[in-house]
A and B are shown apart, each in its own frame.
Chain A
Amino acid sequence: DTEVTQTPKHLVMGMTNKKSLKCEQHMGHRAMYWYKQKAKKPPELMFVYSYEKLSINESVPSRFSPECPNSSLLNLHLHALQPEDSALYLCASSHQDMAELNTEAFFGQGTRLTVV
Chain B
Amino acid sequence: AQKVTQAQTEISVVEKEDVTLDCVYETRDTTYYLFWYKQPPSGELVFLIRRNSFDEQNEISGRYSWNFQKSTSSFNFTITASQVVDSAVYFCALSEQSNFGNEKLTFGTGTRLTIIP
Residues of A near any B CB (own CB < 8 A): 31, 40-45, 48, 50, 55-56, 88, 90, 92, 94, 96, 98, 101-110, 112
Closest chain A CB from B42 CB (angstroms) = 6
Q: A44 to B110, alpha carbons, bound, how many Å?
A: 13
Closest chain A CB from B14 CB (angstroms) = 24
List, in ascending order, chain A residues with CB within 8 A of B33's CB: 102
What are 9 residue pairs bridging A and B, where the CB atoms are less than 8 Å apart in the complex? A41-B109, A43-B107, A45-B104, A50-B100, A55-B102, A90-B43, A90-B44, A104-B47, A109-B43
0 or 1 for each of B85-108: is its CB under 8 Å from A? (1 = yes): 000000100010110111111011
Interface Cβ pair total, 8 Å cutoff: 71
List, in ascending order, chain B residues with CB within 8 A of A105's CB: 45, 47, 103, 105
Q: How large is the interface on B (under 10, 10 to 19, 20 to 34, 35 or more residues)?
A: 20 to 34
List, in ascending order, chain A residues with CB within 8 A of B101's CB: 50, 98, 101
Residues of B near any A CB (own CB < 8 A): 32-33, 35, 37, 42-47, 50, 52, 91, 95, 97-98, 100-105, 107-110
List, in ascending order, chain A residues with CB within 8 A of B105's CB: 43, 45, 105
Closest chain A CB from B77 CB (angstroms) = 15
Instruction: Tell whether, in the assembled complex, residue B109 and residue A50 are in contact, meaning their CB atoms are under 8 Å apart.
Output: no
